[in-house]
Amino acid sequence: MKNNNDNNLNTVFAVLVIVLVVVSVLNFGITFVKISEYNKAVTGFATAYVNLTINTNLGIDISPTYGINWSNGSITPGINNATLTTAMNGSTVLGGNWSTVGVQGILILNTGNQNASLWINGTKNYTDWFGVTGYQENYTWNVSQYAANSCSGGWQPLTAWTVVNHTQFKYCAQFSSLSATNKVWLDVSLQVPSDTTQTNTRLSDTLTITANAAG
């Protein structure tokens, strides 16, 4: 992004649109509860049963539901790039003037009644954002636990920043359904180069968050 004249900076719109995909699977099981079994002296033997079907389900939800939205902003003159990063319930901007008000990471909630596996994928590589540039650009994310024992057994280490690509990442083999430990944070970081050709336009990615059976 080049400074054409005083106070006249091209503007980059950096907007992340998060789309939630909820996968609900119902596994049906039958529990037989014996209510009474007794032998009547006169009428003979009598048995009664109540049959219950207990449903197990998988489900996820996110907060905030609109995802991550940095809106419009520009890179500080003389700086090669700006870095926009969410950090759980907050965010930071280095080298630019994008607002951080109301910008935070995505809180993912297991709304089911059983443990799940958690998968996340995007539609863009980091090279798909800003066109051909000569300065550093990047697009990374990380998943961290809201509370201890929320998530374990994934392919990627928790809290480690991973370069986003079209690959689906398994972050939890066991995503807890217990109310105290059923949440994880998804944070995103964008490094915007100052010579990007994608100015005065809306830039976005769609992240798909999927819950499958645990394991």
pLDDT digits (tens, 9 = 90+) for 54-80: 566 788 888 888 888 888 888 999 999
- Nearest alpha carbon to residue 175 among 161, 187, 191, 158: 158
H helices present in the chain, as ranges: none
Residue 205 lies in a domain: yes
Residue 37 lies in a domain: no
| Residue 207, beta-bridge partner list | 18
Tokens 């809106």, residue?
Answer: 71
For 72-112, the pLDDT digits (tens) are 888 999 999 999 999 999 999 999 999 899 999 999 999 98
Could you tell me whether strands 90-94 and 106-110 are parallel, antiparallel, or unpaired per DSSP bridges?
Answer: unpaired
What are the b/e assignments for 2-23, b being 16+ CB within 10 Å? eeeeeeebbebbbebebeeeee
Asked if 135 and 80 count as a contact pair (C-beta separation under 8 A), the reply is yes
What is the structure's pLDDT at 144? 97
As a whole number of Å, the CA-based R_g of the chain is 25
Residue 97 lies in a domain: yes
Q: What is the pLDDT confidence band of residue 26, given thresholds at 50, 70 and 90? A: very low
Asked if 115 and 59 count as a contact pair (C-beta separation under 8 A), the reply is no
Residue 44 lies in a domain: no
Task: Quote the tokens at residue 85.
Answer: 């990063």
Rounded to two decimals, the pTM is 0.77
Residues with Cβ < 8 Å from 150, sequence gap 6 or more?
172, 175, 176, 181, 182, 183, 184
Residue 42 lies in a domain: no
Enclosing domain of residue 167: 3-25+58-213
Domain count for the chain, please give it: 1
Handedness of CA 32, 35, 39, 42 (dihedral sign): negative
Residue 47 lies in a domain: no
Residue 47 has pLDDT above 80, yes or no: no
Residue 31 lies in a domain: no
Residue 194 lies in a domain: yes
